[in-house]
Structure 1
């Protein structure tokens, strides 16, 4: 039935060092390999100089990546010595950086000048009575000083010193500025005050005329000069890219970064590399095929994994059960000796949701949303089976968009049979908990503790069913007493020492275990309660529609009511379904102690052009 998760297989692959990059890239394409190094101190580890080279490259990337072109990954169809390629690429980048940094400083100064001209252009275009005479103000001194500040949003500075004259300006975007003129010492104190409110000082443009048209002409001329200078610097930087082959060098270093992140410590000699890790392909056929197609000389061996390594777990579920893995993943990953409940959840969670949310129309809305959103947001794929189940129960309960009079109920109207609904909910809960107890037995069997479970927890299961059976036939309570004795005596019997001291512990575990089982069972009453609540809300929606007088007003009430029920109750029912699975079902058998298989990903395209170096 596929209840037990699979485990990955250990492999060892010996390849020439020159083919390492090509081999790892091809392994990544299969999505069936996870690298893990078998730590063996008798062999040299990692590409020589990899750590230092990547650290130096990361520093260059932090400072200069905004001026780099898009990297070009090296062709992996041919052999490449990764150490030699890394050293050559880093040497090219060093030389490029030494020649390009002075040019980058010039380009950044031109960009700063262009940003300043843009700000002045907006200021000139603002709704101001007159522009200040910047040419004269810039020459103020030595007793007088002038400042132009850009004010932060929502600031309202007032109480200006009497010795300082101010003029407020506004640019084309509504940004406020203030021009301040006064004695030099008073203006210096004003600098401190403006800094405190986070105002920014602008340099006074001595070349800017105070007549608007002349000012715009001067700004346009300055901008053309700055853009031409910036373009010339960009062309010189682009020439350096070509001269030093920076795009291929960046691709090689991107590959080295990938090595450092995915394969930093592979056993290596002067000529060969041992690639080790896990493969999700049971027979390794995909691995053999890819290596053969790549024409890589290799030796592949499958073996038992080294002691002490945590074997990854592989969830091998069919496509229809994949979305339901999310429930177990909320706790972690099922271990290799635990049950993967995803296939069973694909049946019981839609049944539970549909029972609590039975309505043909509302279920169709959820189904449509699931089909629309499942590719954008994978978790919404659950709405497809949940909505379909709601449609089925909608026909059984005779409800369509909260109206219980349009179609006949193929089974019953929940609001008319509350006791039956509650009994069905509890009976469903008993089945779910019994399944959890069965899964616990399977877990113990897979771990080699089947006899221990039979000697102890089997008595707890017998007592549970004895108590439930006594509700129908009182004489079945004797099974509960038998189960109590079974559990206590079995726990004492399997104890390795101090068996008499085990007796009070067994009694305590018996009491706790039985209370948990009974409380877990009663928790499923909420399934019936929400089914009745949904029917009650449906009746309330049409009751309010009738109170609104019918017609258009009534239609609006029905539409809004259904929207509220779908959004609010749909969310609550989904949360309750998740809660019952986590705390009433999973608690019986799932500890989620496994480690999920994480396939190797390829280096991909790391660098993207910014456009700064060529504009």
Structure 2
């Protein structure tokens, strides 16, 4: 079900907006809209332009909470905003010296990390780095060259070049090394290496020893910095521990005020009155139940005025959708959200999906043992992990268990119990025909839901002339009825009756746009443009409609096919376990059941969802709604 919404326009003195948000709006869920957009026809409105004064103190509070670490302690007394700001400022100042020291250590650690990355590829060079850097008659160049150019360098250039190249390391992209060249030839050799895309690397000159020794020195220094940072972190936490409950409460208070202040971006302001008073205006959606409570609460407040409008229409916004379903059906909202939320005036298909999805799953996957395992496993997962999908699996497993009894199947064995109804493999054709019959019933239900949605939206075309409207229902129902009469051996209605029951509805679908315009008393009955193109396009669309009737119906064959498939797969498992010999292989039976339960359960789950989306949703559901997003959730007492 979809919660009934009311559009609220809240106004009061500009300097009173914080009190209103903290005292009233924080108790209710309200989906705010941009007031300037909603009131675009009103002149002399301005945006509520103010700089958020709480952002800076909030940033300080966030950094302190991060330094504090995991602390679940929070004070429970009331705290004013000035008190919260004072606590945060004092706490920030008390650790500022340690924070600065920690930042400096962090800077040094980052610099060391860069130097380690520079030195690492040259660790195998067994020569003191400072001596290389102090050569007088030889020039050196540390760097890297791609594999492609290094091969060209080795094959065609190296033998003719007055230089020595020492390879030090390589990775998947580059070869790292250093070349030495006489000072007199350095310009020519440098030009050659530059043409080979040699990327020069500059080595640090403040360290003693070989690259390996320098690398180890830097590593040790990095460890020392890491230990020093941990000690500083501990010192900061120790200073903050005594005020942790007060600091956490102050942080929550500031965060609330900062978030509330951001609401000003959606508010509008009036021009100052003759007394110099400026008023704010907030616009948004609230559930009918909350709107009634809110209106009652502010009755005695002279500084707050609220106008509630249940029939509000806007060119810029539409009512948001907030789903409200019984607890057992709530997990199935997951499937609705995956497809798209219903529009405000659309039916919520959650209960329909919950009933049809689990029922079809049970029909396709009927087994007492495997269904019970799915039911129990899904229930436990939902209880401990609160996964909506697990709850869906549990309910689907319940229906699998029910149909397992109806089919007389438990872990694939069909000799332990009698079928309450029938076994799918006893008569394959009957099973498939019954699946199609069940699909026809669901398609007709989907058409009825589409007609109801059309009535809600006051859409004449959707009600009467849509492929899933009254015309489609009569046409499809008549064809199905005739086919049923033929197979049961009864006489089919005459040509005139068939023309009325099938031909007339198809003609209405073909001419749905002109007929809708005519009933709506519009000036232009036919759409603008070429009449020939109109008839061609509608003829193609009518062919697609007829084809969709057939394909959607035949698609439900898979319901019966999977019921047969399950029985067949379990027959193979029992055959591999040599059950007929009287000495079955228990391990094969267990593993076979697990494999079938996981693989077939996954495939059946996906196939049922496909039937929901393509064969049923496509007939009555659009999913074009926007989610209800309150600026703040209700406070729990």
TM-score normalised per structure 2: 0.69
- What are the within-5 Å matches in structure 2 for residues 334-349 of structure 1? 334-349=342-357
Instruction: Report the equivalent of 2:334.
Output: 326
- Kindly provide the CA deviation profile for residues 82-131 of structure 1, in whole angstroms up to 9, marking residues without a partner as x: xxx9xxx99xx9x9xxx99998985554223443687799999x9x8x96
- Kindly provide the CA deviation profile for residues 428-477 of structure 1, in whole angstroms up to 9, marking residues without a partner as x: 11211111121122123223357984688534423332322223434453
Shift of the 361–486 alpha-carbon distance from structure 1 to 2, 3 Å rule, reads: same
Q: Which of residues 4, 25, 30 is equivalent to 1:33? A: 30
Instruction: Report the equivalent of 1:591.
Output: 622
Report deviation, 1:376. 5.4
Q: Which of residues 466, 473, 477 is equivalent to 1:465? A: 477
Give, in whole Å, the separation in 2 of the partners of 1:519 and 1:259. Answer: 54
Q: Which of residues 251, 274, 277 is equivalent to 2:284? A: 277
Partner of 2:422, secondary structure, is coil
Partner of 2:265, secondary structure, is coil
- What are the within-5 Å matches in structure 2 for residues 310-389 of structure 1? 310-374=318-382, 375=385, 377-389=387-399
Instruction: Report the equivalent of 1:48.
Output: 50
Give the root-mean-square deviation of aligned CA atoms: 5.8
Instruction: Report the equivalent of 1:484.
Output: 502
Shift of the 337–147 alpha-carbon distance from structure 1 to 2, 3 Å rule, reads: same
- Kindly provide the CA deviation profile for residues 61-89 of structure 1, in whole angstroms up to 9, marking residues without a partner as x: 8xx9998875999x9967869xxx9xxx9
Q: Does 1:142 align with 2:136?
A: yes
Q: Does 1:428 align with 2:438?
A: yes
Report deviation, 1:24. 3.7
- Kindly provide the CA deviation profile for residues 383-409 of structure 1, in whole angstroms up to 9, marking residues without a partner as x: 111111112112222222333334433
Partner of 2:308, secondary structure, is strand
- Kindly provide the CA deviation profile for residues 504-559 of structure 1, in whole angstroms up to 9, marking residues without a partner as x: 9988776654443333222211111111111111112222333999979x444434
Give, in whole Å, the separation in 2 of the partners of 1:78 and 1:131. Answer: 66
Instruction: Report the equivalent of 2:612.
Output: 581
Instruction: Report the equivalent of 1:206.
Output: 207
Report deviation, 1:277. 0.6
Give, in whole Å, the separation in 1 of the partners of 2:209 and 2:404. Answer: 76
Report deviation, 1:282. 2.8
Unaligned runs of 5+ in 1: 171-175, 240-245, 605-615
Q: Which has the higher contact order (CA 8 A, sep 6+)?
A: 1
Shift of the 70–228 alpha-carbon distance from structure 1 to 2, 3 Å rule, reads: closer
- What are the within-5 Å matches in structure 2 for residues 286-325 of structure 1? 286-287=293-294, 298-304=304-310, 305=312, 307-308=314-315, 309-325=317-333
Q: Does 1:14 align with 2:8?
A: no
Determine if contact 2:424/2:563 at 8 Å carries over to the other structure.
yes
Instruction: Report the equivalent of 2:71.
Output: none
Determine if contact 2:142/2:203 at 8 Å carries over to the other structure.
yes
Shift of the 178–577 alpha-carbon distance from structure 1 to 2, 3 Å rule, reads: closer
Give, in whole Å, the separation in 2 of the partners of 1:525 and 1:396. Answer: 19
Give, in whole Å, the separation in 2 of the partners of 1:376 and 1:578. Answer: 21
Tell me the number of residue pairs that the alignment of Structure 1 and Structure 2 aligns.
565
Determine if contact 1:336/1:594 at 8 Å carries over to the other structure.
yes
Give, in whole Å, the separation in 2 of the partners of 1:402 and 1:567. Answer: 14
Determine if contact 1:355/1:531 at 8 Å carries over to the other structure.
yes
Partner of 2:578, secondary structure, is helix
Partner of 2:46, secondary structure, is coil
Instruction: Report the equivalent of 2:521.
Output: none
Instruction: Report the equivalent of 2:110.
Output: 112
Report deviation, 1:563. 3.2
TM-score normalised per structure 1: 0.71
Determine if contact 2:62/2:251 at 8 Å carries over to the other structure.
no
